[in-house]
Amino acid sequence: MGATTGPLNEDLLDQLKKIDTPTIANALELMEIRPRTEGFMRPEIRSISAVTETHIGYAVTGVISARHKSPNALERRDYYEAIEAIPTPRMVVLHDLDYPATIGSYWGEIQGNIALGLGCVGAVTDGGVRDLKEAEEMGFP
Residue 27: helix, strand or coil by DSSP?
helix
Residue 2 pLDDT:
47
Residue 80: helix, strand or coil by DSSP?
helix
Residue 5 pLDDT:
67
* 41-138: CATH number: 3.50.30.40
Indicate whether 10 pLDDT > 80.
Answer: yes
Nearest alpha carbon to residue 40 among 56, 52, 29, 51: 29
42-46, 60-64, 65-69, 90-94: range with lowest mean pLDDT: 42-46
